Amino acid sequence: MDSLSTANTEFCLDVFKELNSNNAGDNIFFSPLSLLYALSMILLGARGNSARQMEKVLHFNHIEESLGPEFKDSAKCSQTGKIHSEFGVLFSQINRPDSNYTLSIASRLYGTKAMAFHQQYLHCSEKLYQARLQTVDFERSAEETRKAINAWVENKTNGKVTNLFGKGTIDPSCVMVLVNAIYFKGQWRNKFQERETMKTPFQLSQGKSVTVEMMSQTGMFKLAFIKKPQMQVLELPYVNNTLSMIILLPVGTADLQQVEEQLNANTFSKWTSPSNLVEQEVEVHLPRFKLDVKYELNSLLKSLGMTDIFSQVKADLSGISPAEGLFVSKIIHKSYVDVNEEGTEAAAATGVVLVVKRLPIRAQFMANHPFLFFIRHIQTNMILFCGKLASP
């Protein structure tokens, strides 16, 4: 599971940096895990250079036995390679029913009646990714199918992700639509009291400010002080300590751009290391916020090096179907998050020096300017959601 967790973090930060380079002043929110799930289901049927490009972009290329499934025996999906079997294990660890929070991942394949799919691919998609094939008629009922897919996503995300596929995005030429949805709703272990929430200025990066509903509480939380770049790292746990929100907040003379420039898998691991997060009394001030963001990710993934699967000429998805000309036309990802006094509701459908300073009697964490945040599953160390709050 460590190899999958590392790949998840590396891919997450690659996607974040690409989104940030094109939307530097905007809010950002997405689910790297949802994207990994969906792309890994394509990888399961990718071959040749298409597979090699995907493995490199997803950071699976250094994982032993992750390459080239051949489906020699449809009953033995373990032959598909280590990375796919790890997803099967991850699914069972994350999709555990719990009365204190809701966290679910759901996947589905929609395939045209006219397409011959490899039965082994369908079998292993269902076994490893719990993705069952729904046969549809894109040619005659593209619009009705689009509405049905959107309704399924809306249902799986408790109504939070709506209209994933806009009008015209699914047409009669479509042969397969692969969908992954992830939904999370959790209560803070230490809830914020609404009576403590006050209107407070939030400083924007351009020197302007907006008024936000600033939540406040004092309690025992894990906090790290990073010297370079200057920032605080706060961990806010959810009930049962199964998941937590990690917040990277620049302080002193540092701004968020300096944090973003130094952010990579290695620095993120160091900054959020349990050995650096010291439990102490912290006065926490965090804005109440909601984000609803949609991305079409074809160009982003191409810029990372995943080009062939989008080309009708070069794509090799022969592990999905023997039909020629099968390629990926669109990858759309939509996500939603609501952070309030009770907790968080989120959904989506795709050389550093550390110094812990001498801690004051009570530390203050004042998130009244742009910050980065991550929601992660503690046991598996998987980043479920990643975001930047630039303007609440």
17-38 tens-digit pLDDT: 999 998 778 999 999 999 998 8
Task: Assess whether 360 and 271 both reside in one domain.
Answer: yes
Determine the Cα–Cα distance for residues 196 and 170; give it in Å rounded to an integer.
Answer: 47
| pLDDT of 73 above 70 | no
| pLDDT of 122 above 70 | yes
The terminus-to-terminus CA distance of the chain in angstroms comes to: 35
306: nearest Cα among 21, 107, 61? 61
- Position 355 scores a pLDDT of 31
Q: What percent of the chain has pLDDT over 90?
A: 42
Judged by DSSP in three states, 97 sits in coil
Determine the Cα–Cα distance for residues 45 and 176; give it in Å rounded to an integer.
Answer: 13
Q: Please, is 117 exposed, middle or buried when counting C-beta atoms within 10 Å of its C-beta (0-12, 13-18, 19+)?
A: buried
Rounded to an integer, the average pLDDT of 351-378 is 69
pLDDT band for 200, please (50, 70, 90 cuts).
Answer: very high
Task: Assess whether 147 and 10 both reside in one domain.
Answer: yes
Lookup: tokens for 127:
């076994």
pLDDT band for 241, please (50, 70, 90 cuts).
Answer: confident
208 forms bridges with which residues in the sheet?
Answer: none
Round the average pLDDT of the chain to a whole number and report it: 86
Task: Assess whether 47 and 180 both reside in one domain.
Answer: yes
| pTM to 2 decimal places | 0.90
Task: Assess whether 296 and 181 both reside in one domain.
Answer: yes
Task: Assess whether 382 and 281 both reside in one domain.
Answer: yes
What's the CA angle centered on 333, arms 330 and 334, to 5 degrees? 140
Task: Assess whether 127 and 215 both reside in one domain.
Answer: no
Spell out a b/e string for 349-361, using b for 16 or more CB atoms within 10 Å of the CB, else e.
Answer: bbeeebeeeeeee
| CATH code, domain with 381 | 2.30.39.10
Which helix H or strand E contains 108, and what residues bound it?
strand 101-112
Cβ distance 334 to 204 under 8 Å? Answer: no
Residue 249 lies in a domain: yes
Cβ distance 84 to 124 under 8 Å? Answer: yes
- Position 230 scores a pLDDT of 92
User: What is the extent of the structural domain holding 246?
Assistant: 194-287+351-389
pLDDT band for 288, please (50, 70, 90 cuts).
Answer: very high
- CA dist list (Å): 278 to 272, 283, 371: 11, 14, 20
- Position 376 scores a pLDDT of 93
Determine the Cα–Cα distance for residues 209 and 87; give it in Å rounded to an integer.
Answer: 43
Q: Please, is 378 exposed, middle or buried when counting C-beta atoms within 10 Å of its C-beta (0-12, 13-18, 19+)?
A: middle
Task: Assess whether 313 and 243 both reside in one domain.
Answer: no
Residue 343 lies in a domain: no
Task: Assess whether 261 and 296 both reside in one domain.
Answer: no
Residue 345 lies in a domain: no
Residue 346 lies in a domain: no
Task: Assess whether 236 and 128 both reside in one domain.
Answer: no
Residue 155 lies in a domain: yes
144 forms bridges with which residues in the sheet?
Answer: none
| CATH code, domain with 161 | 3.30.497.10
Task: Assess whether 174 and 296 both reside in one domain.
Answer: yes
Give the total number of structural domains in the chain: 2
Cβ distance 374 to 207 under 8 Å? Answer: no
Residue 321 lies in a domain: yes
Residue 342 lies in a domain: no
Residue 344 lies in a domain: no
Spell out a b/e string for 252-280, using b for 16 or more CB atoms within 10 Å of the CB, else e.
Answer: eebbbeebbebbebebbebbbeeebbeee
